[in-house]
Structure 1
Amino acid sequence: MSTELGPEHTMADTTEPHTTTEAITLGLHDASPQHLVDAMADNVELELGWGRLIFGQTFAEPTELAEALRREGPGRRDICIYARESHVLVAMAPHELFLDPSHTYRLRFTGEQQEAQKSPVAITVRSLRSIADADAMNRVYVRCGMVPAPTEVIWYNHENADAVEYLVAVRDDDDTVIGTVTGVDHERLFSDPEQGSSLWTLAVDPAASLPGVGEALTRELAGIFARRGRAYMDLSVAHDNAAAIALYEKLGFHRVPVLAIKRKNAINEPLFTPIPETVDDLNPYARIIADEATRRGIHVEVLDAETGEMRLSHGGRSVVTRESLSEYTSAVAMSRCDDKRLTRRIVGEAGVVVPRGRLATFDDGDHDFLAEVGDVVVKPTRGEQGKGITVGVTTDEELDSALARAREEHPEVLIEQRAPGDDLRLVVIDGRVVAAALRKPAEIIGTGKHTIGELIEAQSRRRAAATGGESVIPIDEITTATVAEAGWSFDDVLPEGERLRVRRTANLHQGGTIHDVTADVNPQLCRVAVTAAEAIGIPVTGIDLLVPDVTGEEYVFIEANERPGLANHEPQPTAAAFIDFLFPGQPGLPQAWTPEHAPG
């Protein structure tokens, strides 16, 4: 199980159910004895980049604490925890402060030193090794809808603040960062008499598709603090985050009566002001656009949550959108994208390389073409989300089945020579590539205990949870055939650590995963994508190419999507670029860091 927690549910607290001893321990936060207050540092504020952690128990005067919260900068999210009289503090500035609707959980360490358990299969939990790790942490934050932190802040804390502990979870095969957690040692930070610690910003990349990442990060951090002799580790989790709460309770956390206080700002608005229910009903592809517009002060009116239709308004400008499709995409451009045969002809005439292909005639001519090229892809000329597409057709029997499958989606079917390489999606907005990503077919990793069928079902549940139900692995004849081609059946137990691809196409709606390569893609491939978009006459599109190597220039055009899923490409600023296109000159919120923010 993995969890994705934003700063609004970031902090960790761990405790036994209420006992007399526990009540005395918590008394420090409500009415600290003076000798305990004197033993601590005064007015402790810890800069973490996305905002400050303000430790309320270190403030003797509530007026100073209130003023500290009111100093929050734009685009940041400060959190105050352990205020002695939270209700009084909020009452001092009710128009600016509010009680965070989160629960605090505590894991109390026993006398025996807690040992970190073995990480799940295929991942390793470790400390930061370079500033590139800090940058990768931010990618995970953004994918989870969290406020990122300047990499220099993360690296400064890692190098200079011994009270801050950053951990990352990385894939064993390519060292890609797929999860992160931040810990704070209260004893090292301000000589905490309670010997406490806390967990913050636990985040797992929703596209990671590996189980147990959040649990592994939490266990490793707890082990570090336990071995230092700390008494407990605290965290804060949104009251309605059932999955995260279930994980923490499984690990031995218990709720404690500790409150967090935040300042009313645009980022926190959903926590203190009810938002229209229809905004919550938007799928991730529309929601990312609504959130970006809201951050910029652009009014969002949901016209139809099911289809993702919204009206965005600012000043005298109003635009209707359906996810990344807007009024500025013409009906002609849409029709060109919708007909894959027409798209091929248009981009081919513009000099873009397209594979050999033919419109299926459902006779011997189709079989002759297969015999000539040896390996084909069969797809309906109209359709989306990979429906009706069969990849890797090499025999006459497979061709007949693939043609019938495609014909169920649309009467006209395209047969193309299959080109080698990986599926590269390039998002073009207003004449420039803003994101590039490799899309890979769904795969599972063996545990040595579960059958392939069980692993597929578990992986499908994780993909669905990570994408709001948008991505699942179909259990159909294609999945069955793909597994069989590799020499397995659904009832076989896959050995621990062994990877098995269970779909041929990389479509995200069929369980595929996406891997950002924006920094690595060859500029020539970007030029090809822009050329294709301009030829079609479409301002916002996803251009799909097959490439042997993203750093090379070799490619074959696959298709163009008139409504690319921008949420799939975080942390690249796809939603920001889309809003820039719709509302030129409307800036986003600044996120700056200066040396005076460095921890003391």
Structure 2
Amino acid sequence: MMKPPTDEKAGRLRAAKAVAHRMRRWRVDHSCCAQHAHASIMAAAPKEAQVDCGWGRLLFAQTFDQPARLVTALREEAPEQRDIAIYVGDPHVVIAAAPHELFLDPSHTFRLHLSTYRGSRRQASGFRVRRLSSRADACAVSRIYNTRGMVPVRPDFIWCNRDNRAITYLVAEDQATGEVVGTVTGIDHHKAFNDPEHGSSLWCLAVDPQARHAGIGETLVRRLAECFLGRGAAFMDLSVLHDNEQAVALYEKLQFRRIPAFAVKRKNSFNERLYSAPLAGYAALNPYARLIVDEALRRGVQVEITDAEGGFFRLSHGGRSVHCRESLSELTSGVAVSICDDKAVTRRVVERAGLHVPAQMAATGDEASLSAFLNQHGRVVVKPARGEQGRAVAVGLDELGAVKRSITEAEAVGGRALVESYFEGEDLRLVVIDFKLVAAAVRRPPCIIGDGRTTIRRLIEAQSRRRSAATGGESTIPIDAETERCLRLSHLALDDVLAKGREVLVRKAANLHTGGTIHDVTEIVHPRLVEAAIAAARAINIPVVGIDFMVNSPTEPQYVFIEANERPGLANHEPQPTAERFLDLLFPLSGSRAADCARGRI
């Protein structure tokens, strides 16, 4: 049994306890003061905050003390990059400091207050949104940027920043194919520079123009908003060009509201269309002509649009002038154009050069010959001898009545009709410039996916609107006799409701202008196919041409020649440098090639 402490011992014990208590209080107070001091330091955003996004830097102007410092930072923009100074409080003062170098971005800033955000009950159909998780995802995001004409970003940059707490990459994945079909990037301002407002922003929303599903862009925006809401962000901002009516309509639908915030950018070749008066007639150019004109302007090649609606323009550089219609230039002879213009002549020319061609007959009205040809080959293709953009082309016909009707339609377009044996496989386009392969792509016919609620007619119309928006109006799906024929092959009609998840081809031809999609296969195309395409170009003696084959697979050597296009559309082949190689052909010493020559690299 312990003895009770004496008074002296009790006093010493009480004193020791008091000291210990004061020490504990000191430690707590000291810790609180340190935490308070740390919090005070962290609450103040660092000066001259910026985030490298791969395509350029975001400069947060509110963290710059002086306009001169912001101007200096903008002058440090890297080559081939596009820096953006955002939240510029006095843009007129900043621009006045360097009026020949800077301009006010003609975009509106929209804000979504996350405290009032309400999610959608509608579930994504046919795709899912997730975080970027592989190098393949990074490559897909980079590819989508290229297809949408955005500043390119190296896949390795995206991959290396996947764990950057300030940057969030989301992707939309097609659940049937596993392909990445959309992407969006988010910037967490608090993680980036301890933003006292706890803001965030959305950048680089992009959907693959070949995507088959509706609502991908909206779902990406919603998922990013929910991500930032979960982190405690107060709002999510974005910048959108003032005349992008479709995007503005989407953001307003999602309850974004415009705020008085401004951005300043440097005058460079990528931004030129935002601050300089456009060329006369530029707005009327189609995407195929515009792609070449943009590349010419980037290189400093003079451009004169001679007939915008027809896609005609004149390019001049170094004392040389070349008149073009899209990718058809004065370097292509009239003889070569004549060979490509008549598909029967084209076939004979390339057959003599050793290429594999389908059996073919002219539609002369001899029903017995036509019936015999159909019986011999089982299925046939009917097309006008002269025509383009897939008009009046019917594929996979196996019934004499349908063949005769298609011949009538083809004759109305091209004067004469041709009937060819049908080759089962994929439609491969090879773009050959200066007798070298520049791009190879598989073209696939348009298909729709049912949702269990909507008629086939409405699904086609919706898909057609998306294709038109993605291609500048160049690709739409006609609703005509050929569409109805293809539906009948699946025992369907336009007013039927398609079951949820069911996919149906609505046309057999894979032409882009009738709603087809195009998928790059340049890196995997078989060398024998490349050799055959170049041989065809040499046989026709044409410097720029699109050679069409039917193939089992782009990775296999078997093929059948279909036709040669003397004016191939160079757009939609991203990331391949089709416009760059076209300008190289016309003006070898323009742009970067001139610099390479000066350095002795060429």
Deviation at 1:156, TM superposition (A): 1.9
Corresponding residue to 1:435 among 439, 443, 452:
439
Distance 2:155 2:95 in 1: 32
Cα shift readout 1:353-379 (whole Å, capped 9, x = no counterpart): 001112222111111111111111111
Pairwise CA RMSD of aligned residues? 1.8
Report the 3-state secondary structure (helix = DSSP H, G, I; strand = E; otherwise coil) of the residue aligned with 1:572.
Answer: coil
Report the 3-state secondary structure (helix = DSSP H, G, I; strand = E; otherwise coil) of the residue aligned with 1:346.
Answer: helix
Q: Which residue of 2 aligns with 1:218?
A: 221
Q: Which residue of 2 aligns with 1:527?
A: 531
Q: Which residue of 2 aligns with 1:546?
A: 550
Q: Does residue 1:480 correspond to 2:484, yes or no?
A: yes
TM-score (norm 2): 0.89
Asked if 1 retains the 8 angstrom alpha-carbon contact of 2:89 and 2:261, the reply is no
Specify the code of the residue in structure 2 equivalent to 1:101: P
Q: Does residue 1:65 correspond to 2:67, yes or no?
A: no
Q: Which residue of 1 aligns with 2:44?
A: 39
Extract unaligned runs of 5+ from structure 1: 1-34, 591-600
Q: Does residue 1:169 correspond to 2:147, yes or no?
A: no
Corresponding residue to 1:52 among 47, 50, 57:
57
Corresponding residue to 2:341 among 331, 338, 342:
338
Q: Which residue of 1 aligns with 2:576?
A: 572
Q: Does residue 1:391 correspond to 2:390, yes or no?
A: no
Q: Does residue 1:507 correspond to 2:511, yes or no?
A: yes
**1:119–1:333 Cα change, 3 Å:** farther
Asked if 1 retains the 8 angstrom alpha-carbon contact of 2:432 and 2:544, the reply is yes
Q: Which residue of 1 aligns with 2:15?
A: none
Bigger RCO of structures 1 and 2 (CA < 8 A, at least 6 apart): 1
The correspondence of residues 20-39 of structure 1 with structure 2, limited to 5 A, is 39=44
Distance 2:459 2:501 in 1: 12
Q: Does residue 1:462 correspond to 2:459, yes or no?
A: no
Q: Which residue of 2 aligns with 1:13?
A: none
Distance 1:119 1:64 in 2: 47
Q: Which residue of 1 aligns with 2:105?
A: 100
Distance 1:520 1:181 in 2: 28
Distance 2:586 2:175 in 1: 41
Specify the code of the residue in structure 2 equivalent to 1:238: L
Specify the code of the residue in structure 2 equivalent to 1:166: Y
The correspondence of residues 150-229 of structure 1 with structure 2, limited to 5 A, is 150-159=154-163, 161-229=164-232
Q: Which residue of 2 aligns with 1:74?
A: 79
Q: Which residue of 1 aligns with 2:20?
A: none
**1:119–1:589 Cα change, 3 Å:** farther
Asked if 1 retains the 8 angstrom alpha-carbon contact of 2:386 and 2:415, the reply is no
Distance 2:389 2:301 in 1: 30
Distance 2:137 2:60 in 1: 27
Identity %: 53
Q: Which residue of 2 aligns with 1:232?
A: 235
Distance 1:66 1:403 in 2: 66
Distance 1:428 1:525 in 2: 12
Distance 1:588 1:513 in 2: 31
Report the 3-state secondary structure (helix = DSSP H, G, I; strand = E; otherwise coil) of the residue aligned with 1:158.
Answer: coil
The correspondence of residues 287-298 of structure 1 with structure 2, limited to 5 A, is 287-298=290-301
Deviation at 1:337, TM superposition (A): 0.6
Distance 1:68 1:174 in 2: 44
TM-score (norm 1): 0.90
Report the 3-state secondary structure (helix = DSSP H, G, I; strand = E; otherwise coil) of the residue aligned with 1:229.
Answer: coil
Deviation at 1:207, TM superposition (A): 2.7
Report the 3-state secondary structure (helix = DSSP H, G, I; strand = E; otherwise coil) of the residue aligned with 1:49.
Answer: coil
Extract unaligned runs of 5+ from structure 2: 1-39, 595-602
Specify the code of the residue in structure 2 equivalent to 1:316: G
Distance 2:419 2:43 in 1: 78
Deviation at 1:206, TM superposition (A): 2.2
Q: Which residue of 2 aligns with 1:267?
A: 270
Deviation at 1:473, TM superposition (A): 1.2
Specify the code of the residue in structure 2 equivalent to 1:257: P
Deviation at 1:85, TM superposition (A): 2.5
| Range moving further from structure 2, 489-498 or 223-232 | 489-498
Q: Which residue of 1 aligns with 2:564?
A: 560
Cα shift readout 1:409-460 (whole Å, capped 9, x = no counterpart): 2332211110110101111111111111111111111111110011111111
Q: Which residue of 2 aligns with 1:413?
A: 417
Distance 2:57 2:94 in 1: 17
Asked if 2 retains the 8 angstrom alpha-carbon contact of 1:116 and 1:220, the reply is no
Distance 2:593 2:186 in 1: 27
Deviation at 1:84, TM superposition (A): 3.4
- Radius of gyration: which is bigger? 2
Q: Which residue of 2 aligns with 1:91?
A: 96
Specify the code of the residue in structure 2 equivalent to 1:145: G
Distance 1:560 1:221 in 2: 45
Deviation at 1:556, TM superposition (A): 0.6
Distance 1:321 1:179 in 2: 34
Distance 2:315 2:520 in 1: 28
**1:220–1:367 Cα change, 3 Å:** same
Distance 2:550 2:244 in 1: 39
Cα shift readout 1:293-318 (whole Å, capped 9, x = no counterpart): 11111111100001111111111121
Asked if 2 retains the 8 angstrom alpha-carbon contact of 1:440 and 1:514, the reply is yes
Aligned length: 555
Asked if 2 retains the 8 angstrom alpha-carbon contact of 1:120 and 1:216, the reply is yes
